[in-house]
C-alpha cells in the first residue's frame, strides 16, 4: 500500500485536470462526483497507507518518483516522505479536506455550472498542493507545494472576481504570501550553499556531521524559514491577508483556516525542528512573535461584527499559540494544536457558512440572533466547536492548548536558554489570550444563536436548517472536536498514572522537544490547568453577562461610549492595514508611478522615439535617391557594377 | 600578324561602352533594349576570346547560355514595351514615373 | 590576311554600333545593329568558335532583331522626336560611365599578359553539344525553364484583358 503513496497526490491533480478540461460540458452532478470523488479516493489511499504505516514502528518511508533536477553534484528528486509527522498532517488534511468538499456540494449549489466546476477544480488543486507540501521529502518539493497553496488561495479567495474587493483580497493574500515565500526561498538557497543539499534528511545528516557549520548557519536558516512561516501561517507582521481571505466562499475559508495553508507554516517549523533546536535565538523569535500575535489578534476579534472576521482573527490567534508552543521547543504540542484546531476551526467555519446560507448571505452578527431554534444541528455543532476552541475540559482544544501553555510555563520556570523571564511573560500573554478567546467566541454564540432575531422579516421567513450534505460534515467535525484531544492527554491529567500522551510519543522521533531540564511538579501542573479553565470560564461568564438576556449589548455599548478612541482603534484592527498602506503600499505605488512616468516614458520611450525620428529623417532625405526615372536606376546599376569590378580587379 | 586577345578585348570594351552610352542616354525604350543587346554581345565576344586564350570550351558554352538569356530578356522586354505603349501611347521611359514618391 | 579581316570587321562593328545607339529612326537602329552582330560573328569565327558564329547570325541577327522590327512596326515606326526635359546630369554621368567602361576595358586589355593560345580549340557543334548535355546538363535544363517562363510571361504581359 505504501508504494501507492503517489496516488494521494495523483487523484486530486487528476480531478483538477478533468474539471478544468470539462468545465463547459459537465453538469452539477458530474462536477460534484469528480470533485468529491477525487478527494475521497485520496482519503481512502491515505487511510490505507496509514494503516500499513502503523505497523512500521515509526520508520521513515521515502518514495522517489523521478529525478527532477540533476546539475553536477546537485540533485533534486521528486520524492515523497512519510514519517509520523507527515502522517498526522496527511490524515487531517485529507479528512477535513474531504469533508469540506462534501459540504461544498451543498453550499455552492446555486453557482452556475462553469463556476461550480472551476470551484471544485481549484479545491482539488488546493488539496494537491497541500499534500505535496506535506509529503515533500526535500525543501524544493515542499516549496512547490508551498507556492501551490499560495496560488490556490489567490484563485479561491478571488473566486468572485467580478467583485473588486474579492479580487483585491485575493491579490493581497498572494502578495503578502510572496513576501514570506521570499524568506523561505532564501533559506533553501542558503541551505544548499552551506550544506550542499536541500533534502530534509540529508540536511539533518549534514548538520549533525558538521556541528560547527550547523551552529553558524542555524539561526539564519531558522529565522528565514520562520519569515516564510509568518507569511503562510498569518503571524505578525504578515497576518493581514488572512482576515481578508474571507472574501472567498465560506468552505474555502474553512479549508484555508483549518486544514491547509495556514498550518503549513507550523508544519514547516516542526519539519525543520532540528534546525530550530540548534538556535535559541530563533526559538525565542518564534515564541515572541507567536505569543504577541495570539493576544494581538484576539483583541481585534473582540470588536468585530462580521462572523467570519471573528473566526479569522481567532485563527490568527490560535496560530500564534502554535508558534508559541514551537518557540518553547514543544514541536509536538504545536502540531497537536494544529491537529485539534483543524477539526474545530473547520467545524466553526462550516457552521458559520451554514448560518450565512440560512440568512441569505448576511454576515453581520448584529442582524442575526435567535437562530438556535431554527437550526438545531448547526447550533449544537457550533457550540461544541466553540467549547473546544475556548478550552473547556474534555473538548479537544483544552488538551492541546493546555499542553502548549504548560510547556511554555515549564520553559519559563526552567529558564530555557537563559530566556526564562521572557517565556514566563509569554505564558502570561497566553493565559490572557485564553480568556479573550473564550469571551469573543461566546460573544459570537450569543449574538448569533440566542436572543431575538434582528434581521428583516423577509430573511426571517427564509430561515432554514441546511441540507444534509452540509450538516453531516458538521456533525463529523464536531465529533472530531470532542475526541481528537484524547490522543494527547498530558501525563499530569492522569496523575502520572501512565504515559497517556500518545501524540508526543508519535512525533518524538521526528520532532523531539527541546529539553528544558526543569521538571514542573504535579501540583503546579494541576494549578495551571485549573487556572486556564478558570480563565476560560470567566470569559464565558463575562460574554454571557454582556451579550445574553434582556440587556444584551448594553455594557459593551457603554464601554465603547466611555473610551471611543480605544474602541475605534480596536474595531479598526489597530489601523494596521492603514499603516501598511501608508508605509509600504503607497510608497511602492509612488515609486512605480515615477518609474513609469520618469524612467519609462521619458528615458526609455524617449530613446526609442528619437531613434524612430532619426530613421524617419534619414528616410525623408534618402527617398530623393528614388527618382522614379528608369535611366537613373540604370546609371546607378552600371556605377555599382563598375565599383564591384574595380573592387575585384584592384 | 594575327590579332591577339588584347585586340578582341579592346573591341569588346568599345562595344560595351557604346552599348552603355545607348542605355544611359537614349529615352526610347527600344533603343535601350538595343543597347542592352549590344552590351551582351560585347560580353560574349570577351568570353569567347578568353575561352580561346585558356584553350577550353567553357566560355563558348557560357556564351550559348547568354544567348538564351538574351532571347528571354528580349521577349519579356518587348512584351513590357507593348504593354506600356498600350497604356500611355508612348515608349518614352522618362514618362514612366507613376510609381514615384 | 587574318589581321586585315579583323580590322575591317572591328571598324565596321564600332561604326555600325555608334549608328545603332545614336540614330533617331528605330528601324535604322535595328538594321545597323544587324551589321554589328554580323561583324561580331566574324570575330567569333576568327576565334575558332564556328558554331557560335553561326548561332550568332541565326539567333541575334535572324530572330531577335526581326522581333524588334516587328514590335517597331506594331507600335508605329517613326517615333516622336525626343523632346521635353533635358537631363544634363544624366547625360554627363552616362557619358562619363561609358568612358570609364571603355578606358577600363582598354587598360585591362593592354596590361594583361598575352600568352600564345594554349591549344587550338575547335568550337564545333559536336563539342559544344557534348559539353552542354553532360557537364552543363543542369544549366541547360534550367535555361529551358527560363525560356518557358519568359514565353509565358511575355504572353501574359501582352494579353488583352477582355
Strand partners of residue A138: A199
The CA distance from A133 to C19, in Å, is 95
Task: Decide: A330 and A276 in contact? Cβ < 8 Å.
Answer: no
CB contact under 8 A, B38 and C109: no
SS3 state of residue A65:
strand
For A263, the grid coordinates are 498550518
Q: What CA–CA distances, in Å, run from B59 to A125, B45, B55, B62?
A: 77, 10, 9, 5
Q: What letters, b where the CB count within 10 A reaches 16 and e where it falls short, cover A90-101?
A: bbbbbbbbbbbb
**Residue C41: predicted pLDDT:** 93
Interface test with chain B among A620, A621, A628, A638, by most B beta carbons within 10 Å: A628
Nearest CA in chain A to B27: A631
- pLDDT value at residue C81: 52
pLDDT tens-place string over residues A611-639: 999 999 998 888 877 777 788 888 889 99
Q: What's the CA gap between A43 and A596, in Å, rounded?
A: 50
Q: What CATH number does domain C1-77 carry, 2.60.120.650, 1.20.120.1200, 3.40.109.10, 1.10.3720.10?
A: 1.20.120.1200
Show the 3-state SS of A417-451.
Answer: HHCHHHHHHHHHHHHHHHHHHHHHHHHHHHHHHCC
CA C39 to chain CA centroid, nearest Å: 11
- Number of other residues whose CB lies within 10 A of the CB of residue A568: 12
Query: How far is it, in rounded angstroms, from Cα B78 to Cα B93?
Result: 13
Largest CA distance in chain A: 115
Written as nine digits, the cell of A521 is: 511538579
CA distances from C52 to A522, A566, B67, B69, C142 (A): 125, 114, 10, 15, 20
pLDDT for res A56? 76
As for the ipTM of the complex, it is 0.89
Beta bridge partners, A69, equal A76
Higher pLDDT, C47 or C124: C47
Which residues lie below 8 Å from residue A460, measured CB to CB, with a gap of 6+? A453
Residue A617's SS3 state is helix
Chain C positions touching B69 (Cβ under 8 A) are: 143, 146
For chain C, give every domain's residue range: 1-77, 124-162
Min Cα–Cα distance to chain B from A633, Å: 9
Q: What is the mean pLDDT of residues C145-149?
A: 94
**Low pLDDT (below 50) residues in chain B:** none
> Residue B62 to residues A258, A583, B51, C136, C140: CA-CA distances in angstroms?
89, 83, 10, 10, 10
What CA–CA distance (Å, rounded) separates A578 from A584? 10
Query: For chain C, how far is it from start to end, CA to CA, in angstroms?
Result: 60
Cross-chain CB nearest to A632 (options C90, C97, C101): C90
Give Cα separations from C74 to A288, C27, C68, C162 (angstroms).
Answer: 106, 12, 10, 20
Residue in B13, B30, B65 nearest the CB of C143: B65
B20/A638 CB distance under 8 A: yes
pLDDT at B18: 94
Residue range C76-123, pLDDT digits in tens: 754 555 555 677 888 888 899 999 999 988 888 888 877 766 666 666
Contact residues, chain B, for A630 at CB < 8 Å: 32, 93-94, 96
> Which chains border C (3 or more CB–CB pairs < 8 Å)?
A, B
Task: For residues A436 and A428, give the distance between their C-alpha atoms in angstroms, rounded to a whole number.
Answer: 13
What percent of chain C is modeled with pLDDT above 90? 35
- Check CB contact under 8 Å for B24 and A631: yes
CB contact under 8 A, A635 and C90: yes
The domains of chain B are located at: 5-89
Give dist(CA A232, CA A35) in Å, integer. Answer: 25
The CATH class of the B5-89 domain is mainly alpha
How far away is chain B from the Cα of C121, in angstroms, using its nearest Cα? Answer: 6
C-beta atoms of C101 and A642 within 8 A:
yes
Pick from A623, A634, A638: which is nearest to B101 by CB?
A623
CB A19 within 8 A of CB A26: yes
Distance CA A26, CA A449 (A): 38
Q: Provide, as residue numbers in chain A, all residues whose Cβ is less than 8 Å from the Cβ of B32.
A: 630-631, 634
Q: Do B21 and C94 touch (CB under 8 A)?
A: yes
Q: Which residues of chain A have pLDDT under 50?
A: none
Q: Which chain B positions have a beta carbon within 8 Å of A649's beta carbon?
A: none
User: How far is A621 from chain C, CA to nearest CA, in Å?
Assistant: 19
Predicted confidence at residue C141, as pLDDT, reads: 92
- How far is the C-alpha of A405 from the C-alpha of A422, rounded, in Å? 14
Q: Which pLDDT belongs to residue A496?
A: 62
State whether B32 and A634 contact (CB < 8 Å): yes
Q: What is this structure's pTM?
A: 0.69
Widest Cα–Cα separation across chain C: 62
Q: Which chains touch A (3 or more CB pairs under 8 A)?
A: B, C
Tell whether B57 is within 8 A of chain A (Cβ).
no
Amino acid at each position: 500500500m505504501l508504494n501507492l503513496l503517489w496516488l494521494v497526490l495523483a487523484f486530486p491533480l487528476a480531478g483538477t485536470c478533468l474539471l478544468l478540461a470539462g468545465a463547459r460540458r459537465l453538469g452539477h452532478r458530474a462536477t460534484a462526483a469528480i470533485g468529491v470523488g477525487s478527494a475521497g479516493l485520496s482519503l481512502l489511499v491515505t487511510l490505507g497507507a496509514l494503516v500499513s504505516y502503523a505497523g512500521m514502528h515509526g520508520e521513515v518511508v521515502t518514495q522517489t518518483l523521478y529525478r527532477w533536477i540533476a546539475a553536477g553534484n546537485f540533485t533534486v528528486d521528486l520524492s515523497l516522505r512519510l514519517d509520523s509527522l507527515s502522517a498526522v498532517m496527511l490524515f487531517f488534511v485529507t479528512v477535513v479536506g474531504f469533508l469540506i468538499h462534501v459540504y461544498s456540494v451543498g453550499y455552492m449549489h446555486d453557482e452556475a455550472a462553469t463556476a461550480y466546476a472551476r470551484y471544485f477544480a481549484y479545491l482539488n488543486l488546493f488539496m494537491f498542493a497541500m499534500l505535496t507540501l506535506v509529503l515533500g521529502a526535500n525543501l524544493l518539493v515542499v516549496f512547490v507545494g508551498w507556492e501551490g497553496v499560495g496560488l490556490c488561495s489567490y484563485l479561491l479567495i478571488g473566486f468572485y472576481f467580478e467583485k473588486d474587493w474579492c479580487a483585491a483580497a485575493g491579490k493581497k493574500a498572494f502578495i503578502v504570501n510572496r513576501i514570506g515565500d521570499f524568506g523561505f526561498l532564501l533559506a533553501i538557497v542558503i541551505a544548499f550553499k552551506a550544506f550542499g543539499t536541500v533534502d530534509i534528511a540529508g540536511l539533518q545528516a549534514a548538520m549533525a556531521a558538521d556541528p560547527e557549520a550547523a551552529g553558524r548557519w542555524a539561526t539564519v536558516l531558522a529565522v528565514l524559514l520562520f519569515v516564510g512561516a509568518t507569511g503562510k501561517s498569518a503571524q505578525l507582521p504578515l497576518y493581514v491577508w488572512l482576515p481578508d481571505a474571507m472574501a472567498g466562499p465560506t468552505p474555502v475559508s474553512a479549508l484555508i483556516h483549518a486544514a491547509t495553508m495556514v498550518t503549513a507554516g507550523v508544519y514547516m517549523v516542526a519539519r525543520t525542528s532540528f534546525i530550530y533546536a540548534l538556535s535559541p535565538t530563533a526559538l525565542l523569535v518564534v515564541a515572541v512573535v507567536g505569543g504577541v500575535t495570539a493576544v494581538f489578534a484576539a483583541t481585534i476579534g473582540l470588536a468585530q461584527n462580521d462572523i467570519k472576521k471573528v473566526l479569522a482573527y481567532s485563527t490568527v490567534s490560535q496560530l500564534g499559540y502554535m508558534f508559541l508552543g514551537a518557540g518553547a521547543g514543544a514541536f509536538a504540542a504545536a502540531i497537536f494544536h494544529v491537529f485539534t484546531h483543524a477539526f474545530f476551526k473547520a467545524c466553526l467555519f462550516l457552521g458559520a457558512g451554514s448560518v450565512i446560507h440560512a440568512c441569505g448571505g448576511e454576515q453581520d452578527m448584529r442582524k442575526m440572533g435567535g437562530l438556535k431554534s431554527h437550526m438545531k444541528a448547526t447550533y449544537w455543532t457550533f457550540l461544541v466547536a466553540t467549547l473546544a476552541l475556548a478550552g473547556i475540559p474534555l473538548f479537544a482544544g483544552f488538551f492541546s492548548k493546555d499542553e502548549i501553555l504548560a510547556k511554555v510555563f515549564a520553559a519559563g520556570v526552567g529558564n530555557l536558554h537563559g530566556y526564562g523571564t521572557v517565556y514566563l511573560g509569554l505564558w502570561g500573554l497566553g493565559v490572557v489570550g485564553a480568556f479573550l478567546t473564550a469571551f469573543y467566541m461566546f460573544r459570537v454564540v450569543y449574538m448569533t444563536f440566542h436572543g431575538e432575531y434582528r434581521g428583516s422579516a423577509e430573511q426571517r421567513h427564509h430561515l432554514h436548517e441546511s441540507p444534509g450534505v452540509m450538516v453531516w460534515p458538521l456533525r463529523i467535525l464536531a465529533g472530531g472536536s470532542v475526541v481528537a484531544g484524547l490522543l494527547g492527554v498530558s501525563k499530569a491529567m492522569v496523575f502520572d498514572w501512565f504515559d497517556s500522551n500518545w501524540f508526543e510519543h508519535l512525533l518524538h522521533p521526528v520532532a523531539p522537544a527541546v529539553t528544558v531540564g526543569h521538571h514542573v511538579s504535579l501540583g503546579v501542573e494541576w494549578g495551571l490547568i485549573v487556572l486556564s479553565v478558570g480563565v476560560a470560564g470567566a470569559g464565558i461568564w463575562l460574554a454571557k453577562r454582556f451579550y445574553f438576556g434582556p440587556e444584551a449589548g448594553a455594557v459593551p455599548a457603554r464601554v465603547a461610549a466611555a473610551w471611543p478612541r480605544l474602541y475605534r482603534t480596536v474595531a479598526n484592527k489597530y489601523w494596521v492595514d492603514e499603516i501598511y498602506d501608508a508605509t509600504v503600499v503607497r510608497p511602492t505605488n509612488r515609486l512605480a508611478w515615477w518609474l513609469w512616468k520618469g524612467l519609462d516614458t521619458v528615458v526609455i520611450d524617449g530613446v526609442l522615439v528619437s531613434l524612430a525620428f532619426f530613421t524617419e529623417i534619414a528616410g525623408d532625405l534618402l527617398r530623393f535617391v528614388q527618382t522614379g526615372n528608369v535611366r537613373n536606376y540604370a546609371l546607378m546599376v552600371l556605377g555599382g557594377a563598375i565599383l564591384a569590378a574595380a573592387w575585384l580587379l584592384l | 600578324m594575327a590579332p591577339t586577345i588584347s585586340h578582341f578585348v579592346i573591341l569588346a570594351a568599345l562595344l560595351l561602352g557604346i552599348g552603355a552610352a545607348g542605355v544611359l542616354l537614349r529615352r526610347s525604350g527600344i533603343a535601350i533594349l538595343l543597347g542592352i543587346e549590344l552590351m551582351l554581345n560585347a560580353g560574349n565576344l570577351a568570353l569567347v576570346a578568353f575561352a580561346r586564350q585558356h584553350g577550353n570550351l567553357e566560355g563558348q558554352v557560357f556564351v550559348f547560355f547568354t544567348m538564351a538569356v538574351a532571347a528571354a530578356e528580349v521577349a519579356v522586354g518587348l512584351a513590357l514595351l507593348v504593354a506600356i505603349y498600350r497604356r500611355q501611347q508612348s515608349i518614352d521611359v522618362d514618362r514612366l514615373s507613376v510609381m514615384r514618391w | 590576311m587574318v589581321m586585315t579581316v579583323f580590322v575591317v570587321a572591328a571598324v565596321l562593328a564600332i561604326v555600325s554600333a555608334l549608328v545603332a545607339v545614336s540614330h533617331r529612326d528605330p528601324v535604322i537602329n535595328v538594321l545597323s545593329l544587324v551589321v554589328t552582330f554580323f561583324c561580331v560573328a566574324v570575330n567569333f569565327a576568327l576565334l575558332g568558335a564556328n558554331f557560335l558564329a553561326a548561332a550568332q547570325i541565326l539567333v541575334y541577327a535572324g530572330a531577335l532583331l526581326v522581333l524588334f522590327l516587328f514590335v517597331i512596326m506594331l507600335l508605329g515606326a517613326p517615333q516622336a522626336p525626343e523632346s521635353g526635359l533635358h537631363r544634363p546630369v544624366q547625360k554627363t554621368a552616362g557619358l562619363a560611365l561609358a568612358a570609364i567602361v571603355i578606358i577600363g576595358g582598354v587598360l585591362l586589355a593592354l596590361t594583361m599578359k598575352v600568352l600564345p593560345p594554349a591549344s587550338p580549340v575547335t568550337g564545333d557543334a559536336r563539342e559544344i553539344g557534348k559539353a552542354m548535355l553532360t557537364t552543363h546538363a543542369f544549366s541547360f535544363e534550367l535555361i529551358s525553364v527560363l525560356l518557358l517562363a519568359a514565353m509565358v510571361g511575355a504572353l501574359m504581359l501582352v494579353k488583352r484583358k477582355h
